C-alpha cells in the first residue's frame, strides 16, 4: 500500500469514526428522551452496542499507531503499522 493510499484510508477511517460517534450520540439522546417504544429502544440499544465496538476497535488501532511513534536518538520515528498486529 502506498503512503498516499494509506493516508486516504486513515482519513476515511477518521471520517467513519466521527460519523459513528455522532450516530451514537443521537441514539443516546433519543433513548434518554423516553418517547420511543420498547422495541425501538431495544433496536437503538443494539445499534449502540455495535457502534461502540467499532469505535473501540478504531481507538485501539489508533493507540497502536501512536505507540509505534517511538523516540530514538532524540528523534521521533514513525514505524510501519499493520492493523493485523
pLDDT in tens, 48-67: 999 999 999 999 988 887 77
pLDDT in tens, 27-38: 999 999 999 999
Q: Where are the alpha helices (DSSP H) in 1-85?
A: 3-33, 38-67
| Contact between 67 and 61 (Cβ < 8 Å) | no
User: What domains can you pick out in the chain, each with its CATH number?
Assistant: 3-78 (1.10.287.1040)
Q: Residue 11: its pLDDT value, please?
A: 74
Q: Find, among 11, 14, 34, the residue nearest to 22 by Cα.
A: 14
Amino acid at each position: 500500500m502506498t503512503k498516499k493510499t494509506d493516508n486516504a484510508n486513515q482519513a476515511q477511517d477518521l471520517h467513519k469514526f466521527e460519523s459513528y460517534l455522532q450516530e451514537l450520540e443521537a441514539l443516546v439522546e433519543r433513548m434518554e428522551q423516553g418517547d420511543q417504544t420498547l422495541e425501538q429502544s431495544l433496536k437503538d440499544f443494539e445499534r449502540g452496542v455495535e457502534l461502540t465496538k467499532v469505535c473501540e476497535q478504531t481507538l485501539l488501532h489508533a493507540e497502536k499507531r501512536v505507540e509505534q511513534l517511538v523516540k530514538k536518538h532524540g528523534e521521533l520515528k514513525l514505524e510501519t503499522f499493520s492493523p493485523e498486529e
